[in-house]
Chains A and B, each alone.
Chain A
Amino acid sequence: MEEFITACPRNCYSTCSFRVQVEDNRIRRILPYSENLATPEGPCIKGLSYLERTYSPDRIIHPLIKSSGKFKEININEALDIISYKLGAIREKYGSQSIFWYKGSGMSGLTNEIGYSFWKAFGGTTTTYGNLCWPAGLEAVRLTLGSVKHNVPWDLENANTIIIWGKNPAETNIQEIAFIASAKEKGCRIIVIDPLRTPTADKADILFCPKPGTDGALALAIAHVLIAKGMIDHEFINNHVKGFDELKKSLHISPHNAELITGIPSKNIIELAEIIGSKGPLTIIPGYGLQRHRNGGQTIRSILLLSVLTGNIGKPGSGFNYANLQTYVFDDIKEPLSYYPDNENDMPFRKSISMAKLGSDMLSMLNPELKAAWIERGNPILQ
């Protein structure tokens, strides 16, 4: 039986490594690859389902053409002829930028962005900038810390307090639960902040339920208490923090004010602040939902502020696990800047459609107007 080491290419926190056993030219088993210390126990049910999915009779492996409302299977050569004829005709009549290229995240393997080469060779296209997923938080972390990095996932075991803020790893990042459990076994306090009682909340000691969209106010009130009670790391602040005095002056939100905004009683805000200030090392694991609100980036910065004030950065068990772009080894460290339109016009690409305003921006394109759209790895009508 042959065995290959590979990884799950889905757009997921865990991106598990796994071993694939092949028998008679057919995948027989998907097994954990324990050398990857972040996912030593292997993939979740979605990863295991590759076995079924690969050989499913429902899998689309031939081109389909839609005629009078119905999909019909056609030959690949026929499909290529139709596409090249139509694209060529539009390019000839309106120019290559009259074709809109939309791409979602899809599978994150190395062939993910291969379309770039095609469209470059084609002579250019109109495409999108921005992203609906995580850039507000990426930019927030980059502006605060200088780069988007965090401790290795298994460093959670060294934490004495873990705050899972607006994230549900029990369902979205299952492998992280193993490290949370190891920390918990060593006596670590697990706190979940989420408006909902998620399956992750049931692993916690305390669940704080602020009103949705008020996380920034909660974080700032905690910062206020930390400073007022002197529960901050003066040495870290003196050596590494710029603008602390300005922050102190502008921090007006008291626990009482925050109670009115967040719905969390002020005595509990103080209690949470005391845990953060005294029970280090502290790791905060924020989710991505928080930054998909107005001022989302600032919300992430306010939460990150708590790690910074207490000196919980860059030490074992002290992390702010928002995103770790150190793992983007093939991405040429483009993130997060790659989400923004280039300052200079990136010929032959016209990057002028905002992902967040897809419909209206598509309609506003002039010289040339959009005449066709190429949609891959995503479903913009639903997403």
Chain B
Amino acid sequence: MREGFIFNHYKCVSCKACSAACILENGWAISPRNIYTYNSEAESSLHLINLALACNHCESAVCMVGCPSSAYKRDPVTGAIILDEIKCIGCRYCQWNCPYDAPKYDHEKKTITKCNLCYNGLKTGRQPACSSACPTGALRFGQLSLQKSYTYYSWFPGKNLDPAIEFSANQGFNPLRIIPENINKTEITKPVRKEKRISEELSLILFSFLSIVSVATVISSFFRGVFPERTVFFPVIVLAALASFFHLGKPVRSWRSVANFKHSPLSREIVFLIIYITLCAIILFFQLPGLLIAASVAGLCLLLAIDSVYIFADKKKSVTLHSGQAFLSALLIASFFSGIILPFIFIALVKLAASVYSLIIKRMSPNFEIRFLRMAFLIVTGIRLISHNPFPDLITISIFLTGEFFDRMLFYIDFDPVNINTLIDRQLNIERDEKKRG
């Protein structure tokens, strides 16, 4: 039999004793246990419940699989997923992969803090601090029934990960009946939406865009039968590497990030980055055609690895068909620099179609200006390229690369890994719309 958390939302009053007990037991600055309130603004037509959630110690622990430095491991006795903070490089990749928002980034320590199930105490028979402290018995720890009752909330994410949690309340799903009917009515007309802050992703946008440009330069020089301009391709990839290096919470531990090559796409990305940079450095001194081919292949592997980092985390497939994919963008930029018109037009049309798809079909309306400019810049580049000479002038290059940078930015704006925070709000919006329609 498997042990796990058993939660009753009817008994939860959002008192946060579980969070406090967790901090007191483990001496952390932040609590990995959060209390989420569904319908926190008490919209009258909907029910209101609280959910106290932390790590659910999944059978398929995506945090552990994705971790580049192998900082996570499963405790063989308790089954708990434990983070070894000494190994954590602070890349925050697990925060994208976990749908429960269980790994928390400690800005002081610059590493992740995550529930460890108080596993040392558990081995001696002591309950986890959170469930033991719950004053109403809403949060318990014990034997899970074989019935998978986490299907309970239709919107509960990560069911395929087999989380060790189940829910036991069967009350509180009806909207509260209020008398007199016209009093204390709260109607929230604006949809609840948490705005994504793109500034936090800036170093990643920079890293991936510069990698794309560098690899494209190397490939195009191969097609043009010349060696790449030394002042471009190498400084650009070094800059990219620095951007990714310093976005880590613990840059000095970055060497650990190759530890999980076997499972983690992020680990593979870093390995290919290292190979690519090494080959580029050699090309600086030895201009052998074989090296150029090797660097092109390594570069393409790097870009595929970059794309797979996002595809792995993107459980909702929000960017699978995105025009800002690294591999696709590199091919476009390479054909642009090579002056090969036909592939350029073909890839540009694919990218335009994907952009239109994002805008219209998926209704990704925020940042409309950037989306519009991005498409306009690509069309202008195409027209200039066809009507002028094969090798582009400086203005066309600037317009084109700005457009591609916008595209990469949009990739991060649209990238939307499954996360309980946004999911709760979305479900609320859906249910409210359903109620309004009757």
Contact = CB atoms under 8 A, between A and B. Distances in A.
B295 interface: no
A174 B13 contact: yes
Contacts of B177: 205-207
Contacts of B133: 31-32, 42, 48
Contacts of A39: 135
B179 A204 contact: no
Interface stretch (B19-27, B237-245, B369-377, B419-427): B19-27
Interface in B1-53: 8, 10-11, 13-17, 20-21, 24-25, 42, 47-49
A264 B180 contact: yes
Contacts of B360: none
B171 interface: yes
Interface string B169-189: 001100011111001101000
A181 B11 contact: yes
A206 B172 contact: no
B134 interface: yes
A293 interface: no
B366 interface: no
Nearest to B186: A197
Contacts of A209: 178-180, 183-184
A178 B179 contact: no
Residues of B contacting A: mostly: loop
A49 B15 CA distance: 13
Interface string A226-270: 000000000000000000000000000000000000011100100
B137 interface: yes
A177 B13 contact: yes
B221 interface: no
Given A170-B13, A197-B184, A205-B177, A48 B21 contact: yes
A274 interface: no
Task: Classify chain B: how many residues form its interface, as a range.
Answer: 20 to 34
A45 interface: yes
A52 B183 CA distance: 42
Given A175-B135, A181-B136, A185-B171, A44 B180 contact: no
B132 interface: yes
Contact of A202 (B8, B21, B24, B48): B48
A175 B13 CA distance: 10
Contact of A51 (B14, B24, B179): B24
Nearest to A202: B48
Best-buried of A41, A178, A201 by chain B (most CB within 10 Å):
A41
B11 A196 contact: no
Contact of A177 (B11, B132, B179, B180): B11
A181 B8 contact: yes
Interface string B124-138: 000000001111110
A45 B180 CA distance: 35
A317 interface: no
A301 interface: no
A48 B20 contact: yes
Contacts of A41: 134-137
Contacts of B14: 199
A13 B48 CA distance: 25
A84 B186 CA distance: 59
B184 A48 contact: no
A56 B197 CA distance: 36
Interface string A40-66: 011111001101100000000000000
A349 interface: no
Contacts of B171: 181, 184-185
Contacts of A203: 10, 172
Contacts of A32: 132-133, 135
B13 A45 contact: no
Contacts of B183: 209, 263
Given A171-B13, A181-B10, A204-B176, A197 B42 contact: yes
B184 A45 contact: no
Contact of A48 (B11, B24, B47, B137): B24
Contacts of A86: none
A44 B17 contact: yes
A120 interface: no
Given A45-B20, A175-B136, A263 B176 contact: no
A177 to B, nearest CB: 5
- Closest 6 pairs (CB-CB, A-B): A170-B13, A202-B48, A45-B17, A181-B11, A178-B136, A268-B179
28 contacts: A31-B132, A31-B133, A32-B132, A32-B135, A39-B135, A42-B134, A42-B135, A44-B15, A48-B24, A170-B13, A174-B15, A177-B11, A177-B136, A178-B11, A178-B135, A181-B11, A181-B136, A181-B137, A185-B171, A197-B42, A197-B176, A197-B186, A202-B172, A207-B179, A207-B184, A209-B178, A263-B180, A264-B180
Given A202-B42, A202-B49, 18 more contacts: A32-B135, A42-B132, A43-B135, A45-B17, A48-B20, A48-B133, A174-B135, A181-B136, A181-B137, A197-B178, A197-B186, A199-B14, A202-B176, A206-B178, A207-B176, A207-B177, A209-B183, A264-B179
